[in-house]
A and B are shown apart, each in its own frame.
Chain A
Amino acid sequence: MAYQLYRNTTLGNSLQESLDELIQTQQITPQLALQVLLQFDKAINTALANRVRNRVNFRGSLNTYRFCDNVWTFVLNDVEFREVTELVKVDKVKIVACDGKKVQLLPTLTFDNKIHR
C-alpha cells in the first residue's frame, strides 16, 4: 500500500473529480473509483521515486509546525524556492510530509491493525 498522500495534488484532485463525475452519472461504482485511486497512489509513488531526479532548496520562516501520526505539517512564510534554473518566492506555503522511510504496512489502518502487528 502506498501513501495516499498524493491525492491532494493537482493530479490527484483532478482524478478524484473525474471519478466523482462518473459516479454521478453512474457510469462506475464507488468501489471501482476507490480501486482507481489506489492504483493512482501506486503509480504516482513509483513515478516520483523513479522518474524524478532534481533537487530543490528553500529557505523561509517557520510559522507553525505539527507532528501527529508520524506526519509533519509545516506552514512557512516568505519562502524562497531555489532550483538550479530559477527562484520562486511565495508568501505562505504549507508542507505536508509523511515518513520517508520504508512504507509501513497499511498506514491508513494502523489503528485497526495493532493486534495483527
Chain B
Amino acid sequence: MLTDTGPVAKLYLSIIDDVIDSVRELFLDEGVEDRVLDDLRHLWESKVMQSKAMEGLRKNTNPSNFVLQLPASYTQTDQELTASVVIPGNQNIRSFPVKNNSETLATFSLPAGLAYPVQIPAGVTLQTASGQLYKVNVPVVVTQAPVGQQPATQAMQKVTEWREASAPQPPAIPPNPIPPHEVETSSVPAQSVTQPKTILPSSQEGSLPLQSTEPDFPQEENEPNPQPNLSTTASPCTQLLDFQIRREEALAQMAQSRDIDDILKEVIEEEREKAERAKKLAPVESDSQSEATLGLDLDYSYSQFSDIVQLDGPAGNSDLEEEEEVPLEENDFLGIINAEAMKALQEGNESSDGNSISTSSDGEGADELANIEEEDPLNSGDDVIEQDIPDLFDTDNVIVCQYDKIHRSKNRWKFHLKDGVMCYGGRDYVFSKAVGEAEW
C-alpha cells in the first residue's frame, strides 16, 4: 500500500540515507566538513517534509498534530470538513481521518495537502494534540495562503472567536462544558466580535493562541494585529510545525496586521514613490520611460512628463505639445498610437511633414515606446490565459517512470510502465508496475 504516505515517507528517508552515506566520502575527499553534509541532509529532509507529499510521516510523528474534536451533534456535517483546507506555509498537514465516535466527540485531524478553503461550522471545538482547545463560535472558512502572504479574502464575513482552555482537557470531556479561558495575548479576542472584517496573515493569527504554550513563537508578530484573523481557525495548530519557526523572519517582514486594503494602499504608495523618485532623477523624457517600467500608472502626472503629441491633424510640433499638456490619458494613448503610426510612415516618407514629425518625435520616440509599454499593462487584461499557464504547470500532476511497452491500436493506447514516482493530488506515490489505458 504505497499510496499511504507512511511507506512512501520511509522509502524517501531510506533513499536520503543512502545518498548521504555514499557522498560522505566524496565530501571528505573534497575537504568539505561533515557539518556541511549534515546541513545538506537537514535541508533536504526539511524540504521533503514540508512538501505535502510527506503528510503521513508528520501525522505519525508530530505530537503537535492538530486534531479537531467536534461535538456529537456535529457528526452530520462531517463531510464538509473534508473540503480542501489551506494551511499557510505548506505545513505538514495530517490526513483527515474522520472518526465518528459513538460518544460525544468526533475527531478530525487536518489532512496534509488538503485543498483549502475549509469550512468549519460554528460550535466546533478544535483541539491540538497538545491539548489546547479552541472553540469556534462562528462558522469559519480556512483558506490556504502561501507563507507570509495574505489569506484569501473570500467569504470572510464571519468572525472566529478563539478561546484557549486554561488547561488541557482530556478528550473524553465534551467540549461544551469547557470553560473558555481567554488568553489576552493580543487584542484579537477582544476585537474579534467587534470587527467582523478579517484577513490577516494566518501565521500571525495562528501564533496568537499558542503563545502561552509555545514560547518559541515571538509575540511581536501578534502585537500589531488589530483584527482577528478569520481565515485561520486551523492555523494556530499548524503553526506549531517547524515551518513556522523557519519562516518567522519572512513573516515578520511581510504584511503585519494589514488588511488587503492597506496592502493595496501600500503598493500604490510604493508606486507613487517610485514615480516621484524617477521624476527627480531623470529628465522629462526618461521619466516617462522609467515610469513606463513601473507598470502602474496611478495618477495623471504621467501626462505632465510625457511629450506625447496627438498627431491627429497635420504634423504639429510644439503647438500640439502644448495643447496636449493636459489631455486625458485616453488621448495620450491615442496620441501614442498615432505618433507611432506616423513614425512608421516617416520612415517610408521623406516628406517635410514626416521630417518635422521625426524631429519632434525622435525625442519622443522613446517616450512613445515607453508609453506604449505602459499601454500594454492596460491591455494585458485581455490576456489572462498567459498568466494562468505557469500556474497550470505548477499544479501539474507528474509521473516519472520507465516504460516497458507502449501499445497503440487505432486510437486506443495501452501503457505498461514500471518503477515510477507519481505526484498527484498533492501527494506522492510510487509503483513498481503500472498498467493503463487511454483513448486519444
Please give, as numbers and ranges, the residues of chain A lying within 8 Å of B421 by CB-CB distance: 6, 9-11, 44, 48
Q: State in angstroms the CA–CA spacing of A35 and B422 once bound together.
A: 25
Contact, CB under 8 Å: A100 / B27: no
With A54-B2, A61-B440 already in contact, the answer to whether A97 and B403 are too (CB < 8 A) is: yes
A75 shortest CB reach to chain B, Å: 9
Name which residue of chain A comes closest to B417, CB basis: A97
B419 shortest CB reach to chain A, Å: 4
B26 shortest CB reach to chain A, Å: 5
Contact, CB under 8 Å: A28 / B36: yes
Contact, CB under 8 Å: B26 / A94: no
B30 touches which of A3, A29, A61, A84 (Cβ 8 Å): A29
- Judged by DSSP, the binding face of A is mixed
A14 touches which of B48, B417, B437 (Cβ 8 Å): B48
Interface size on A, residues (CB 8 A): 65
The contact string, 1 if C-beta is below 8 Å from chain B, for chain A 1-37, is 0010110111100110111011000011100100110
Please give, as numbers and ranges, the residues of chain B lying within 8 Å of A59 by CB-CB distance: 436-438
The contact string, 1 if C-beta is below 8 Å from chain A, for chain B 407-440, is 0000001010111111111001111111111111
With A10-B48, A14-B47, A65-B413 already in contact, the answer to whether A52 and B36 are too (CB < 8 A) is: no
With A3-B402, A9-B423 already in contact, the answer to whether A39 and B2 are too (CB < 8 A) is: no
Instruction: Say yes or no for B341: interface residue by CB 8 A criterion.
Output: no
Instruction: Say yes or no for B51: interface residue by CB 8 A criterion.
Output: yes
Please give, as numbers and ranges, the residues of chain A lying within 8 Å of B14 by CB-CB distance: 47, 51
Contact, CB under 8 Å: A36 / B23: yes
Which stretch from B38-46, B146-154, B356-364, B371-379 is at the chain A interface? B38-46
Name the residue among A6, A17, A43 with the largest chain B CB count within 10 angstroms: A43
Please give, as numbers and ranges, the residues of chain B lying within 8 Å of A39 by CB-CB distance: 19, 22-23, 26
Please give, as numbers and ranges, the residues of chain B lying within 8 Å of A19 by CB-CB distance: 40
Contact, CB under 8 Å: A95 / B401: yes
B114 shortest CB reach to chain A, Å: 14
With A8-B398, A81-B422 already in contact, the answer to whether A28 and B434 are too (CB < 8 A) is: no
B212 shortest CB reach to chain A, Å: 34
Q: State in angstroms the CA–CA spacing of A95 and B40 once bound together.
A: 29
Contact, CB under 8 Å: B22 / A43: yes
Name which residue of chain A comes closest to B427, CB basis: A88
With A36-B19, A52-B419 already in contact, the answer to whether A97 and B401 are too (CB < 8 A) is: yes
B344 shortest CB reach to chain A, Å: 40
- 30 example contacts (A-B, Cβ-Cβ < 8 A) are as follows A6-B421, A10-B54, A11-B421, A17-B43, A28-B27, A32-B30, A35-B26, A40-B15, A43-B22, A47-B15, A48-B420, A48-B421, A48-B430, A52-B11, A54-B431, A55-B433, A56-B434, A61-B439, A61-B440, A72-B406, A76-B438, A79-B436, A83-B429, A85-B1, A88-B424, A93-B396, A94-B396, A94-B397, A96-B398, A98-B402
Other CB < 8 Å A-B pairs besides A18-B43, A74-B413, A97-B420, 9 of them? A15-B19, A47-B11, A54-B430, A57-B434, A58-B434, A74-B438, A88-B424, A90-B424, A97-B399
Which positions in B face A, CB cutoff 8 Å?
1-4, 11-12, 14-16, 18-19, 22-23, 26-27, 30, 32, 36, 39-40, 43-44, 47-48, 51, 53-54, 396-404, 406, 413, 415, 417-425, 428-440
Please name the 3 residue pairs, one residue from A and one from B, whose CB atoms are nearest each other, closest first: A14-B47, A100-B402, A18-B43
Which positions in A face B, CB cutoff 8 Å?
3, 5-6, 8-11, 14-15, 17-19, 21-22, 27-29, 32, 35-36, 39-40, 42-49, 51-63, 65, 67, 72, 74, 76, 79, 81, 83-86, 88, 90, 92-100
